[in-house]
Amino acid sequence: MVARLDRDGVGIAQRLLTLRGKADVLDNEYLLYFLQSSIGQSLLKARETGTTVTGIKQAEFRKIQIDIPEIGVQKKIGGFLGLLEQKIELNNKINKNLEQQAQAIFKSWFIDFEPFSNRKPSDWSVSTLGNISIMGAGGDKPQNVSPIKTDLYEYPIYSNGLSNEGLYGFTDKPKISEESVTVSARGTIGFVCLRHIPYVPIVRLVTLIPKTEIVSAKYLYLWLKQLHITGTGTTQQQLTVPDFQKTEILVPSQEIVTLFTATVEPIFEKIWANQNENEKLSSLRDTL
């Protein structure tokens, strides 16, 4: 992981290296974005050692060679990449706010029942996740994997990781094409994501494809977001499909589910548009 220190007087723990470019030789912004790029990350990984916990020894780190243009060119590159980074961060902040809006609407409708005289309508029911969705567990990673998206490898592979919504890589054939929900089943249990494009889930990830005649993926996603999802096990906690299928869920009338989904649809469309823009900006940043 490569990050910027934005202030002085910061204590540095073990297994961290600090870098500062020499004046008029190496611009700090240029150095930051180079090490964060796919090329820089490949150079770092090539120097890693260790099995359970990998790391880079300082002696090995010093051997890494980087391209150093003229200092004026470095500053222009760093400045431009900084603008791209600012736009990406702005889109992320907007998406966080949009997500909060969708969750607030959900809470108003299905937790506080505000549009329904503050009480649950009598024709609503309680069911289980196993009854309202097709639930499964991710499998092994595909044979064909690319670390970046290409014309051939366009379908995302998702794991139980938290970074970048668990994106592991890309492959050539999806396993799930329906709009669905994934939940991390080990490690940080209960990390919930809404998936709207075809993808491949791999190990330690539970998938839920909603039965759309009962609930929508967006309703299911927002319901799971407000749950405190835990696992079972003594040595290592994990979320299992048989146990998770028993989790109860409120099932409104089909009319209300349809109306709610139409209400939050524009919010998620904006989120996905921003994510798509960020993907293009990140690709441009890494290319440069």
What pLDDT score does 99 carry? Answer: 98
Angle at 131 between CA 127 and CA 133, to 5 degrees: 115
What pLDDT score does 234 carry? Answer: 47
What pLDDT score does 228 carry? Answer: 84
Angle at 130 between CA 238 and CA 159, to 5 degrees: 40
Provide the terminal-to-terminal Cα distance of the chain, rounded to the nearest Å.
Answer: 19
What pLDDT score does 124 carry? Answer: 98
Local confidence pLDDT in tens for the 288 residues of the chain = 777 766 565 555 567 777 888 888 899 888 888 888 778 888 888 888 876 667 788 888 888 888 889 999 999 988 999 999 999 999 999 999 999 999 999 999 999 999 999 999 999 999 999 999 999 999 999 999 998 889 999 999 999 988 889 999 999 999 999 999 999 998 889 999 999 999 999 989 999 999 999 999 999 999 999 998 876 654 557 899 999 999 999 999 999 999 999 999 999 999 999 999 999 998 887 776
- pTM for the full predicted model: 0.84
What pLDDT score does 95 carry? Answer: 98
Q: Is 111 helix (H, G, I), strand (E, B) or coil?
A: coil
What pLDDT score does 260 carry? Answer: 99
Whether the CB-CB separation of 172 and 205 falls below 8 Å is answered with no
Distance CA 132, CA 222 (A): 15
Q: Tokens 């089943």, residue? A: 185
- Domains parsed from the chain with CATH numbers: 125-251 (3.90.220.20)
Distance CA 82, CA 285 (A): 9
What pLDDT score does 53 carry? Answer: 66
What pLDDT score does 179 carry? Answer: 98
Query: How far lies 174's CA from each of 4, 72, 154, 163, 181, in Å?
Result: 36, 45, 9, 21, 15
What pLDDT score does 7 carry? Answer: 57
Whether the CB-CB separation of 231 and 186 falls below 8 Å is answered with yes
What pLDDT score does 148 carry? Answer: 85
What pLDDT score does 17 carry? Answer: 77
What pLDDT score does 14 carry? Answer: 65
